[in-house]
Structure formats: structure tokens, C-alpha cells
A and B are shown apart, each in its own frame.
Chain A
Amino acid sequence: MLPEPLLEIKQLKKFYDIKTGWFQPKQQVKAVDDVSFTVYKGETFGLVGESGCGKSTTGRAILRLQEMTSGEIWFQGENIAGLSYEKMRKLRRKMQMVFQDPYASLNPKKTILQILTEPLRVHGLYSQEERVKKAIEILEIVGLSEYHLHSYPHEFSGGQRQRIGIAKAVILQPELIIADEPVSALDVSIQSQVINLLLKLQRDFQLTYVFISHDLGVVRHITDRVGVMYLGKLVELAQTEDIFTDPKHPYTKALLSAVPITHPDEEKDRVILAGDVPSPLNPPQGCTFHPRCPDCMMICKTEKPPVIDLGNHVVACHMYST
């Protein structure tokens, strides 16, 4: 059976104008620069990269939480890039988001009942009593209970808040959930609980995830396919196992080798990258990775690398062009 595409991103771009002064020319930050990928129904698609690589901006742009500069977003066969606020609002029933910071993403002045029934209410689903019942149901599914209905977010620990954030996203039974670093703010012993919850919900509700994270261990565990981003560009995209066992792009290689070892006796070949991620205000010419690349060639300094398909493994690097 061919997998059915649920979400297709085509040439997504998000540029910010930076005003530097009255009479200076405007500068542009290319936060997301020509990113395309497809997410299939039922899979978990990972987006990884370091801070400032544009992975969160991509996630938010897909949900139109941030207006994009150009590009197409096809969701269930419809280009949602140009939808009006109201049309988009109705569509949001099918696409939800889980945020990184469980302390900031719940309104501190609302009780859990209000937080959980609001999605149902604004989409005109069920009667008031049924909504309360649904809220209790979902609370139990995410491992909390009816007792918590009248509590406020601050009465919960970080892990519990993230459960509530997830419950809020799942209560509408959406097709797609974009999870932006959903476990990064949590304690180690809580992270695994929340990952288990996400996996369980995916099985129970046939959810499709776009999982945005910088934690490669978590990404390896939870995702089916992974896109690696660097400075606003997708540099590599493949099945998770392929990325982790046979990375092609020099950046992916360096990123994977930088992950701390998991046992003191583990030996690791480190590619320690020189320098920092360059400022997106002034990205390097040619391949944006070339100043840090251990395999940099002449052509990399002048020409943008082409996107090369190595059979289910896409990489943007001159090394693989023939």
C-alpha cells in the first residue's frame, strides 16, 4: 500500500525584514529558505537542527501561526497557504500543536476544565455536559483525573502541564499534531513518560506527528523519517534509521557525532565543528555550511548545493553531485 500524503510543504520561505536604521538598506533574515517535504498519514516526521535553524518557524508556519513569505502548504489535498483567518480557524480542528514550554502555553487564569473544553466549544462540538464528559475522558487518557478539573495550571508540575497541553491538542481528535520540542523543558525522568504518552496516543487515535526537536536521542526513538535543518535550509531527509546509521551530509555527521556518549566506555569518532552557526543575517555564500565543513571544496564556497536524491535519501551537498 502506498503511503498517503497528509501534508505537503512546497518551497516554504519565511524572511524577516530587519530595520537597521533610518537610511540604511533593509536587511533580511532568511529564517526558512525554500523548504519542501511531505508528511505521510500515520507517520512521525522529525525536524531536527540547532537553535536558529528554522525548525520551529517551519512548524509554526505550517499551522499559519506565523505568516510565511511564500510557499505552499497542502493539507488533505487543499492548499491552506492562502486561507482566510476564519476558514483556517475551522480547519484547525484537524491540525493541532503541542508547545515546548508547559509553563507558558496554558493560560494561567483558566481552570483545566476551561482549558480542555474550549477547543470543543469554539468548534461547536457537543453540548456543555458532553464536553465536560469528554474533558474527563481525555484527562484520564493522559494520566490525570477528574479531581484536576477545577485546578489552575500553576498547581501542576511541568510534566503534568505538558500532559494537559497534549490533552488539549488531542481532545479534538485531529489528523495532524505538530509537537514543537514537547519534552525539552521536562526533567529526564518525566521526558520518557511524555514520550510514551505521545506514542500511545498515536496508536489509539491514528495521529500523524511532526516532531520538532534538537534532542537526537528522542528523535531517533520516536520518528519514522527525519529532516535535518541548518540555517533555514533542509540539508538532509531520510528514514530515521538511515539518518542515524548512514548520514550523508557533513553537517548531519557532525551533529550526530556531537551527541554525548551513553556509556563511559563508548568510543566515539568526534567531528568537532569549528566555530558557531553563522548569523542568519549574513549567511555565507554558496553552501551555508561551508565555513564549518570538514569536507569543504572549492565549489561549495560559490555555488548553492543541489538537492540530490540518493533513493529515499535526499541530501543537499556538492559531494554527491556527479
Chain B
Amino acid sequence: MGKESPLLEVKQLQTHIKTAGGVVKAVNGVDLTVYAGETLGIVGESGCGKSVTSLSVMGLLPKPMAYVERGHILFDGRDITELPEKEMRKLRGNEISMIFQEPMTSLNPVFTIGQQLSEPLRQHTSLNKKQIRTKIIEMLRSVGIPRAEQIIDEYPHQLSGGMRQRAMISLAMLCEPKLLIADEPTTALDVTIQAQILQLMREIKQEKKMSILLITHDLGVVAEMCDRVVVMYAGQVVENADVRTIFNSPKHPYTRGLLASMPNSNERKGELKSIPGSVPRPDELPQGCTFAPRCPQAVEKCWQERPPLLSLTHQFCRCWLYTHEHQEVAAHAT
């Protein structure tokens, strides 16, 4: 498959969440595409809508509190936005899988690893018990779990954090999905274990030729793993480019700020470049550009009007600074 064939397309996605204080636009017009065989990173801070986006794709939004208000999600050319739960279940775990940040809470403590892993196989394949067991042991081995024949009969709490995340990955990989959504897969892990897990994910991706949608706040993880990057801020995509462009010539002031504030790009003991202020709460967004209150380059227009996502030579960027050089408006502000 060429890189040109899109596996997942999210078009103008708006996901709303009902709260006591009213409706919050957690995701506000997000466009992104994951091509076959690539790793797309979604970067952003807490509350930027990156996790809600992935839950929308998986159809795992806590309904009726959260719902897709507008937009489309196309998987392999098929619109799955309004797919009934029964159809969605066929897709989940089979063609799209997900791994979460905290492997302890995403594994059920009362079932053994083997019991949890046999579930998707019983749902989506017609293997018998013995075949399932063989396949699971094989899978556990392939994600680097030692003593797989014993681990299969152990409970999640008997495993370490790294081993649990490996078990989660093997669970996600069982049906050889085309797309793996990884929501902060290494955030809860130690650095040395993180290196192991990232290595494992790279290997699996190579071998199975699948796509990964990697959600993270860690630019280091992005640099390690991703082919392309989508930077999100306050429910919107602010920049979208391939990974080298993001690191070499970021355009959006937020992306620049994030990169500049990494300690390694600053002189030791010196003052770190930082973005002033804090992430706005989704229920009190400014009327203009959502980043304007923290932006060092904000001008009058930024306070008045939300910028559209501009298509620049190498990237998409949602910022008024580049209106003079843009070729077309990729998506209008909402």
C-alpha cells in the first residue's frame, strides 16, 4: 500500500460534552488523516481535546454526556461516525485497537491475562480453545513477555507496570488491527521501560505494517516515533506537518513555544523559554484565537477573530501571522 491511501480520515470533527455549566466544545473542528503504515502523533496539553478525539474515533465516548455534534470519521473509506454499537464492536479490537495510559485500570483485575486476551479472539475469530491458547502464548512472547506459559494464567496485579503495558499491547495486537490508537502509552512508565515499550511498538509496526495514532504530550516521544504530527490546542488543530518540519521550522507560536521550553534547548541553569499563562478551560475560551492570551506575537486581529487553518508550503498552521504567504484556506474556523 502506498503512503497515499488514507486509512483514517477525521473531517471537521466536533465533539461536545455536556457539563453542569453547559455544553463544552471539547473538540472543535478537527481534521486529520492517518495514512496506511504511518505513525501520526497528536501532541497537546491536558484539556486540548486529544483524548476526546481518539475516543470519538473509537466510538467510546461516554454517551449521552459526550457526543459527536458534527463532522465525519472515515475508516478505510467507510463512514463510521454514526455506526450502530453492534457494527462498531466488530470494528473495535478487530480493525482498530486502543491502548491506554494506565495499564492497570484498563485490565480487569478479576480475570487472568489469558482470559482477557481470549475475549477478542472469541469475538472475532472461530478458533477453538486450544488454538486460542496457543495464539495468546505466541502473542505474549512476541511482545517480549518472558514465561508466557505461566503469565497467561496470572492476574494483572501480579505483573509489573511494563509487563502490563506489554500485555495491553498484545491484547490490542491479537486481531492484527490496521490502526492502533495509543493514548499516552508510556506516560505512566519509567524511562527505561518507556524505551522498551517504544522499541516494541516500532518493531510491531514494522512487522505488521499497521498505522499508529499516537497521543502524547511528550515531544521526545514524538521525535522517536512519529512520521507526521498534529499539534492541538484548545480543541483545535493549530499545526499539522511532518515530524521534521515540526522540529526544524515550526510556524505556530504555540508549537514554537513548546519546542523552545524543552530544557535541552536552553542553556543550563538559565531561564527556560516558556509560554506564559495557563491552558484555558474549554468553557472560557476567548472569542478570537484561542492562543492569543498567551501568544507573544498576538496582534489586534488575533483578539477579534479566530484564524482559519492555513495551508502553507510545508504544513498547515492556524495563525494570522501567515495570511500573506498562504495558498489556500484548508479549513475555516468554527
- Do any CB atoms of chain A lie under 8 A from CB atoms of chain B in the complex? yes
User: Which of A190, A214, A263 contacts B223 (CB under 8 A)?
Assistant: A263
Assembly CA distance A259 to B244 (angstroms): 19
Q: SS class of chain A's interface: helix, strand, loop or mixed?
A: helix
Chain A's closest residue to B294 (CB) is: A189
A262 at the interface (CB under 8 A from B): yes
The dominant DSSP class at the B interface is helix
How many whole Å from A54's CB to the nearest CB in chain B?
14
Query: When A and B form their complex, which 5 residue pairs have the shortest distance between CB atoms, in order from nearest?
Result: A260-B220, A192-B274, A258-B195, A50-B190, A221-B263
Contact of A266 among B190, B194, B223 (CB under 8 A): B223
Binds A, one of B120-128, B264-272, B296-304, B313-321: B264-272
Q: Say yes or no for B221: interface residue by CB 8 A criterion.
A: yes
Q: Smallest CB–CB gap between B224 and chain A, Å?
A: 5
B199 at the interface (CB under 8 A from A): yes
Say whether B276 contacts A260, CB under 8 Å.
Answer: no
The residues in B between 59 and 106 inclusive whose CB is less than 8 angstroms from any CB of A are none
A interface residues, Cβ below 8 angstroms from B: 50-51, 157-160, 187-193, 195-196, 199-200, 214, 216-218, 220-222, 240-241, 254-255, 257-266, 270, 272-273, 275-277
Distance (Å) between the CB of B147 and the closest chain A CB? 11
6 additional contacts (CB under 8 A) given A218-B263, A262-B219: A50-B192, A190-B279, A191-B261, A192-B275, A221-B266, A272-B199
CA of A22 to CA of B245, assembled, Å: 63
Residue of A nearest to B243 (CB): A264
Query: Given the complex, which residues of B lie within 8 Å of A192, measured CB to CB?
Result: 261, 263, 272-275
**Which residues does chain B contribute within 8 Å of A199, judged by CB atoms?**
269, 271
CA distance A119 to B166 in the complex (A): 46
A to B CB contacts below 8 Å, 13 in the list: A188-B217, A189-B275, A189-B279, A192-B261, A192-B275, A193-B274, A218-B263, A220-B268, A222-B263, A260-B218, A262-B262, A264-B224, A277-B160
Chain B interface extent, by class: 35 or more
What are the interface flags for B305-325 relative to A under an 8 Å C-beta threshold, 1 for contact and 0 otherwise?
000000000000000000000
Which residues of A are found within 8 Å of B198, using beta-carbon distances? 260
Could you say which residues of chain A place their CB within 8 Å of the CB of B196? 272-273
B293 beta carbon closer than 8 Å to chain A: no
- Interface flags, B228-246, vs A, CB<8A=1, else 0: 0000000000000001100
* Interchain CB contact under 8 A, B220 and A261: yes
Nearest-CB distance from A237 to chain B (Å)?
18
B223 touches A260 (CB 8 A): yes
Interchain CA distance A273-B144 in the complex, whole Å: 12
Q: Shortest Cβ distance from A53 into chain B, in angstroms?
A: 9
CA distance in complex: A161, B190 (Å): 25
Contact of A196 among B218, B257, B272, B279 (CB under 8 A): B272
A214 near B217 (CB under 8 angstroms)?
Answer: no
Please indicate the chain A residues that have their CB under 8 angstroms from the CB of B329 in the complex. Answer: none
B150 close to chain A: CB less than 8 A: no
Is B276 a contact of A193 with CB atoms below 8 Å? yes
Assess whether B45 is interfacial by the CB under 8 Å rule: yes
Q: Is the CB of B269 within 8 A of A262?
A: no
A159 contacts B278, CB within 8 Å?
yes
Task: Tell me whether B331 is interfacial, beta carbon within 8 Å.
Answer: no
Known: A192-B272, A196-B272. A276 touches B163 (CB 8 A): yes
